[in-house]
Chain A
Amino acid sequence: MSAVTQDTAVSTSRATRVFLYLILILFALFYLLPLYVMGVNSLKPLPEITGGNMMALPSTWTLDPWRSAWSTAQIGVEPTGLRPYFLNSILMVVPAVAISTVVGALNGYVLTKWRFRGDTWVFGLMLFSCFIPFQIVLIPMAVVLGKLGLAGSVPGLILVHVVYGIGFTTLYFRNYYASFPTELIRAAQIDGAGFFRIFWRILLPVSGPIAVVSVIWQFTNIWNDFLFGVSFGGTSQPMTVALNNLVQSSTGVKEYNVHFAGAILAALPTLFVYIVAGRYFVRGLMAGSVKG
């Protein structure tokens, strides 16, 4: 391999560099401010907040707001905390992300490597589904879920999110596989591999980067979704709906510290996915398959 330098940055003087970093640090602090406010206020007793010291560090540190948000806070009429809803969300998100990603990968594979008459139309229609606003499908979806007997259940929510997500995942995988050399598929055909064998042995092993993109996208969207959750959740509402019920309760004392803790709890899984999967994001797994 050649020793070409990867450093493409413009060379700058020390003074400019210091200045740049200062600006960047300032911006970073500005963006971190909300997280700081949430963090510190979730760790102090309520009187400290209502006393008017939002920005100060807690004078008495406590984990009670977190415990309360997790297991005892009043959600709607039940004092269950966010825990059962967190579980609902996990039960919904994991299968929905997995199914929509696998279906998207298969769609992308067929649309690029097993072309058929009218395939561009099929792809166009799937692409179109990415532009349909959530609100439009609410009523038809409610009817469909009712007919399928899935209304108000976790499987119902999974179905909704899978259907809604396939457009995006198909788009990702199709565009990724479009640049995958067709000669490799042909070579595998001559070698005797069938439809699924080619998918499993040849295509999937190099789909890492796009699978990560798809998983992050789907996870974030489904986890953060409120509208479908509140509309079709029924008795198995997801975390977002529960958080809303926690924060928006119109009776009793507003427990801001519990609200802050709950909000962080609701955001943690997406943060986790970004941190874990993010490093696989940019890996060039295709290097060297074909002479460029």
Chain B
Amino acid sequence: MGFLDIRNVTKSYGNVQVLHRVDIAVEEGEFLVLVGPSGCGKSTLLNMIAGLEAITGGEIAIKNRVVNGVHPSKRNIAMVFQSYALYPNMTVGQNMTFGLEMHGVPKPERDKALASVAKLLQIDHLLDRKPGQLSGGQRQRVAMGRALVRNPDVFLFDEPLSNLDAKLRVDMRTEIKKLHQNLKTTIVYVTHDQIEAMTLSTRIAVMNKGHVQQLGAPKEIYDTPANVFVATFMGSPAMNIVPATVVMEGGHPHAAVTGADGAVQHLRFSQPGLAAWKGKPILLGIRPEAITDPEGADRKSGNIVALKNRVTVTEPAGADTFVTMTLSGKDVIARMRADAAVTPGESFDFAVNMDKAVAFDPATEDRITA
């Protein structure tokens, strides 16, 4: 039993099913991020938790109370919208206390709650202004303040940072994280930005086409993605997926890949269980940061494999240099130290950290657990 239980929830519009049996139990104080591309059903799920969309099948319970059919205002939730949805005709203060007023909270109490939240978010000097007179970041704060004032059981965030410019987004991200750490609130947060998902969450649900692809801690999602979709969606640049064949050499399973010059090279797997796939094709998944120059390789890794290949393109990005090569006909990106000595067009000795490599079944695209 979780604090917020989503049990076998489905959603259909007519004959079109947009959510397939979603099952998530959120613990108290948890920060759950629903992440996925547009149209994956994440906002629909959030709206169903809020009560803004009807639940087709299954049930949602908050604090062990099934809330299917309970009016949004009676669920003790608060929501921060993508557009902030501040009432344009009311001042910041009125905006923030409107919910309390609707719930019949007397004025002195409202003012007290308002004062403490305004102080927390450092917007006390803005309380008499109208939303139109605020900057994007200030509106964002007010929208969060409006949610906080209610002191709800669950906070729902619907892509709250997507309207901010890049720098402000990073600042607000940190701020939301701080807020969560200080207040220990339960948050469900929808975003399409995998970096937001990784940085903010205590748990991530990666969604695609109405299915939860994987539910787990950020590190788990990143290191052991359940399938090719999760592997390529999370992480930037995306995980490299290369067709390979499992071959045995010295009793260990290896991935046989073809370099740009046509030569086949063997990369030893760290997972002995992959021996079961001997002679079969697989999809080899390697994160860009697991492919480096030999000096930049992770010293703690027990399985650094050398790979000789021609460099196609280098893209210096300041802190890192992204190096592209062709492996088994696919472009593969490596993330290297900024001062790694790589020259486009020339052959280079790459170091592949095979401890971080994963293998996928080409038929189902699911990760091979071995």
Given the interface pairs A183-B82, A193-B98, A291-B139, the reply to whether A188 lies near B87 with Cβ below 8 Å is yes
Q: Is A54 close to B, CB under 8 A?
A: no
Q: Which of A181, A183, A291 neighbours the largest number of chain B CB atoms within 10 Å of its CB?
A: A291
Q: Is A99 close to B, CB under 8 A?
A: no
B72 x A183 contact (CB < 8 A): no
Given the interface pairs A189-B72, A190-B77, A191-B99, the reply to whether A288 lies near B131 with Cβ below 8 Å is yes
The residue of chain B having its C-beta at the shortest distance from the C-beta of A182 within the complex is B85
Contacts of A286 in B (CB 8 A): 88
Contacts of B103 in A (CB 8 A): 192
B102 x A290 contact (CB < 8 A): no
A189 x B88 contact (CB < 8 A): no
Q: Is B230 close to A, CB under 8 A?
A: no
Q: Is B176 close to A, CB under 8 A?
A: no
Q: Is B55 close to A, CB under 8 A?
A: no
Given the interface pairs A190-B78, A291-B136, the reply to whether A181 lies near B99 with Cβ below 8 Å is no
Complex Cα spacing A216 to B102, Å: 34
CB B324 to nearest CB in A, in angstroms, measures 37
Q: Which one of A181, A192, A287 lies within 8 Å of B102 (CB-CB)?
A: A192
Q: Is A11 close to B, CB under 8 A?
A: no
The residue of chain A having its C-beta at the shortest distance from the C-beta of B77 within the complex is A190
Contacts of B146 in A (CB 8 A): 187, 191
1/0 per residue B61-95: CB within 8 Å of A? Answer: 00000000001110001110111111111000000
Contacts of B99 in A (CB 8 A): 190-192
Q: Is B130 close to A, CB under 8 A?
A: yes
Contacts of A190 in B (CB 8 A): 50-52, 72-73, 77-79, 99
B136 x A290 contact (CB < 8 A): no
Contacts of A288 in B (CB 8 A): 88, 130-134
A191 x B102 contact (CB < 8 A): yes
The residue of chain B having its C-beta at the shortest distance from the C-beta of A197 within the complex is B102
Complex Cα spacing A190 to B99, Å: 8
Contacts of A289 in B (CB 8 A): 86-88, 131-132
CB B9 to nearest CB in A, in angstroms, measures 19
Contacts of B73 in A (CB 8 A): 189-193
The residue of chain B having its C-beta at the shortest distance from the C-beta of A180 within the complex is B88
Q: Is B163 close to A, CB under 8 A?
A: yes
CB B49 to nearest CB in A, in angstroms, measures 11
Contacts of B131 in A (CB 8 A): 288-289
CB A177 to nearest CB in B, in angstroms, measures 14
B87 x A184 contact (CB < 8 A): yes
CB B210 to nearest CB in A, in angstroms, measures 22
B79 x A285 contact (CB < 8 A): no
CB A173 to nearest CB in B, in angstroms, measures 17
Chain B contact-residue range equals 20 to 34
Contacts of A197 in B (CB 8 A): 102
Contacts of A183 in B (CB 8 A): 81-83, 85
Q: Which of A190, A287, A290 neighbours the largest number of chain B CB atoms within 10 Å of its CB?
A: A190
Q: Which one of A192, A201, A285, A290 lies within 8 Å of B85 (CB-CB)?
A: A290
Q: Is A23 close to B, CB under 8 A?
A: no
A287 x B132 contact (CB < 8 A): yes
1/0 per residue A176-209: CB within 8 Å of B? Answer: 0000010110111111110001000110011000
Complex Cα spacing A203 to B168, Å: 31
CB A197 to nearest CB in B, in angstroms, measures 7
Contacts of A206 in B (CB 8 A): 88-89
Complex Cα spacing A149 to B102, Å: 43
The residue of chain A having its C-beta at the shortest distance from the C-beta of B78 within the complex is A190
CB B42 to nearest CB in A, in angstroms, measures 16
The residue of chain A having its C-beta at the shortest distance from the C-beta of B133 within the complex is A288
B88 x A287 contact (CB < 8 A): yes
B85 x A184 contact (CB < 8 A): yes
Complex Cα spacing A189 to B98, Å: 11
Complex Cα spacing A274 to B52, Å: 42
Complex Cα spacing A189 to B85, Å: 12
Complex Cα spacing A133 to B132, Å: 44
Contacts of A201 in B (CB 8 A): 87, 98
Complex Cα spacing A183 to B50, Å: 12
- In A138-193, the 8 Å CB interface with B consists of 181, 183-184, 186-193
Complex Cα spacing A244 to B127, Å: 59
The residue of chain A having its C-beta at the shortest distance from the C-beta of B73 within the complex is A192
B88 x A285 contact (CB < 8 A): yes
Complex Cα spacing A184 to B72, Å: 14
Complex Cα spacing A193 to B85, Å: 14
Q: Which one of B78, B85, B133 lies within 8 Å of A181 (CB-CB)?
A: B85
The residue of chain B having its C-beta at the shortest distance from the C-beta of A284 within the complex is B132
CB A161 to nearest CB in B, in angstroms, measures 30
The residue of chain A having its C-beta at the shortest distance from the C-beta of B158 within the complex is A183
Complex Cα spacing A31 to B102, Å: 55
Contacts of B86 in A (CB 8 A): 184, 289-290
Contacts of B163 in A (CB 8 A): 291
Complex Cα spacing A181 to B83, Å: 9
Complex Cα spacing A285 to B136, Å: 18
Binding site for A on B (CB under 8 A): 50-52, 71-73, 77-79, 81-89, 98-99, 102-103, 130-134, 136, 139, 146, 163
Known contacts A184-B88, A202-B89, then 19 further A-B pairs from the complex at CB < 8 Å, ordered by chain A residue = A183-B83, A184-B87, A186-B85, A187-B79, A187-B81, A187-B87, A187-B146, A190-B52, A197-B102, A202-B87, A285-B88, A285-B89, A286-B88, A288-B88, A288-B130, A288-B131, A288-B133, A288-B134, A289-B88
- By Cβ-Cβ distance, the 3 closest A-B pairs, closest first, are A288-B132, A289-B88, A192-B73
